[in-house]
A and B are shown apart, each in its own frame.
Chain A
Amino acid sequence: MFKPFQNIFPAILSIVFAVLAWQFTVQVTQLPRFILPAPVDVWSRFLKALSDGSLIYHTGITLAEIVLGLLAGITFATVTGYALAKSRALEKVLSPYLVASQAIPVVAIAPLLVIWLGDGILSKVVICALIVYFPVLVNTVVGVRAVPTALYDLMHSIRATRGQILLKLELPASLPILLGGLRIGATLSVIGAIVGELVDAEQGLGFLLQLGDFQYDTSMVFVAVFMLIALALSMYGVVTLLERKFLKWQNPSR
């Protein structure tokens, strides 16, 4: 009963403190609003954007890009990762490309992708997927390779089919490492979506951010940034929930 409260309490305290310090800075320095708006300004801007529906709309777009990009990235990464883990030959052929692809920062090819795929949602989904791909791929390979051979022997001794080995051995055995990759991927995907939107977009939080910037509506920029933080934290939270649900056996006590 008290545990979550105890965990959250210091966090709330530090947030309250930070907001107060922010307000204090604004009051002491008397900086113009378009350079550093006060917390109250940001809050009222937030309420306004919320009530005219624009905030929800743009957040929804960005969220959609993140979720679709994440799903696509994870799907491709786990499929290729599994194949690589299973075949040393394939790994030898493909790994130079994979490593080379990692040397190119996604930020650098984002404009290209927007040119090729348009300024709509698709280009952002692809950028997200690309940025998520590598960490999930690496963790899939490591996870599948870490499955104990003794358990393969067990499964073969009771004549498990390939599908059963995949579902009842390889998947659960590699899940801890897989979810570790997902944890990295989930936070990266938020970055991917924003990078894409900042290149060129007509919608999304990145668009909102840029719009606020052009119009000297700095409060709006702050609102967009806070929404992004909220999105990143919720992605992280979802992965944590998955870990709690599926990795119960790893928890120190029950």
Chain B
Amino acid sequence: MTTNPTLTVQDLSVVFPDSNGGLNALENISFDVSPREFICFLGPSGSGKTTLLRVLANLLQPTAGQVHFIRHEQPKIGMVFQQPSLMPWRSVLENIKLPLELEGVDESTARKKAQEMIELMGLRGFEDSWPRDLSGGMAQRVGIARALIHDPDLLLLDEPFASLDALTRERMWMELSRIWQAKQKTVIMVTHSINESLFLADRVLVLTQRPGKIKLDVEVDLPRPRKDDIRYTPHFGKLARKLREAIE
């Protein structure tokens, strides 16, 4: 395994050109990410969360400011998009193994790893299904499997659990925590759920309404591993209230 990236974001601004002088999506965003830290971004719709992830994944050039990775190289990224973004001409298994294919991993190893991911995501029996035959939640799990399969150093997750039912979602929280702890990954995740962020993250950053600025940066000092009943503790309640106030 390669060393983890430490990530520094400096005075980042993104302006999308439009007819009346440009749309400020992000304004003066600065933050640091320590190795193997789990960070959640919360913020109202349109606050630029997806835009921020796209800049971090090098899919979008910022208008101003910089993103520095340690050793100045782009880390290996696994990204879960807000829309599942599956290839309709590939079966579930073929979609999941795409990153390994691009890395030139041999076919049988790739299939075996994809099969493991399918088990992990509770997708057994759907290996050969076409994406259009999947429910929204299943498609999203395929997207998660694809983001994890090539063992990336940095995970960028854009509301990955939004279309899952409550039970599956909590199972996915457990899986993600487990993978994150076992595999030493850095995770940056966007979510709308305060519970989700407190359950998973080391740190939660709240963005303001457009243009997105960092409004709050809180350490989540809840003990790990976090179990379901942690949400009834007073400290959880206090953090949740703080975040809710920051969001609105």
- A residues neighboring B (CB under 8 Å): 148, 150-151, 153-161, 164, 168-169, 172-173, 175, 247, 249
Which of these binds chain A: B84-92, B193-201, B229-237?
A: B84-92
Total contacts A to B, CB within 8 angstroms?
A: 53
- Are A249 and B130 in contact, CB atoms less than 8 angstroms apart? yes
- Are B59 and A157 in contact, CB atoms less than 8 angstroms apart? yes
User: With contacts A168-B98, A168-B102, A249-B130 known, is A158 near B87, CB below 8 A?
Assistant: no
- Are A156 and B81 in contact, CB atoms less than 8 angstroms apart? no
Interchain CA distance A173-B74 in the complex, whole Å: 28
Partner of A157 from B57, B83, B90 at Cβ < 8 Å: B57
Residues of A within 8 A of B74 (CB): 159
- Are B87 and A157 in contact, CB atoms less than 8 angstroms apart? no
How many residues does chain B have at the interface if contact means C-beta atoms less than 8 Å apart? 24
- Are B85 and A156 in contact, CB atoms less than 8 angstroms apart? no
User: With contacts A151-B85, A172-B87 known, is A156 near B98, CB below 8 A?
Assistant: no
Contact with A along B46-81 (1 / 0, CB 8 A): 000000001001110000000000000010111101
The B interface is mostly helix, strand or loop, or mixed, namely loop
User: With contacts A168-B101, A168-B102 known, is A158 near B77, CB below 8 A?
Assistant: yes
Partner of B83 from A150, A159, A172, A175 at Cβ < 8 Å: A150
Give the shortest distance, in Å, between A172 (CB) and chain B (any CB).
Answer: 5
Interchain CA distance A153-B57 in the complex, whole Å: 9
Residue of A nearest to B58 (CB): A156
Partner of A156 from B59, B78, B89 at Cβ < 8 Å: B59
19 A–B pairs (Cβ distance < 8 Å), ordered by A: A150-B81, A150-B85, A151-B87, A153-B57, A153-B59, A156-B58, A156-B59, A157-B59, A157-B77, A157-B156, A158-B78, A158-B99, A159-B77, A161-B102, A164-B102, A168-B98, A168-B101, A247-B89, A249-B90
